Amino acid sequence: MPLTFNICHLGKKDLHLEGELPVEELELELRDDVLRPDGPLSYDLEAEEMDDAALVRGNICLSLRCICVRCLKEFTDTLEIDDWTCHLPLKGEDATPIVNDLVNLTPYIREDILLALPQHPLCEPECGGLKLPASVKDPGETSEKTSSAWAELDKLKL
């Protein structure tokens, strides 16, 4: 069941929305194997009416299972969006769709989660990457016998 609230209840008082949303409801469709949701979305939101609109504010949190892009180690991380805010116009051309007096917040949350996901997850900021065996030579190293392309260009007399 998507995350919804009844618009009719807003006129009387502010609404408090708290709970968990199964990750399947978010329909994130992540095509990258380095990020996977690892549990339900937790939310703690307040909805209030504001001049022909609804304002929803609060915190959302999603646990992630990640693979470090440098060392390929699997780790868990938490995506927290504090002070999440969504302004929903209720009238006019840009009015939010209302079905049976219910406003669906799921598409707005999905969009903000996708924007907040790390593009290159790291197990730690100073991750050194994969450890190369001692037998493998660093491609950046050049031997004294082999000169670089720049050294050869320096020999040209123009």
Could you read off the pLDDT of 32-68 as tens digits, one per residue?
A: 889 999 999 999 999 999 888 999 999 999 999 999 9
What is the average pLDDT value for the chain, to the nearest integer?
A: 87
CB 17 within 8 A of CB 7: no
- Pick 100 or 148 by higher pLDDT: 100
- pLDDT tens digits, 94-146: 888 889 989 999 999 999 999 999 989 999 999 888 887 766 665 555 555 56
64, exposed or middle or buried, with CB in 10 Å at 0-12, 13-18, 19+? buried
Distance CA 88, CA 22 (A): 23
CB 86 within 8 A of CB 105: yes
Beta bridge partners of 62: 41, 79
The three-class DSSP label of residue 86 is: strand
User: What is the widest separation between alpha-carbon atoms in the chain?
Assistant: 86
Distance CA 137, CA 77 (A): 34
* Structural domain containing residue 91: 4-154
Q: Write down the H helix ranges in the chain.
A: 23-26, 106-116, 149-154
pLDDT value of residue 91 = 86
CB 38 within 8 A of CB 64: yes
pTM: 0.76
- Number of domains the chain contains: 1
pLDDT value of residue 144 = 54
- pLDDT tens digits, 22-32: 999 999 888 88
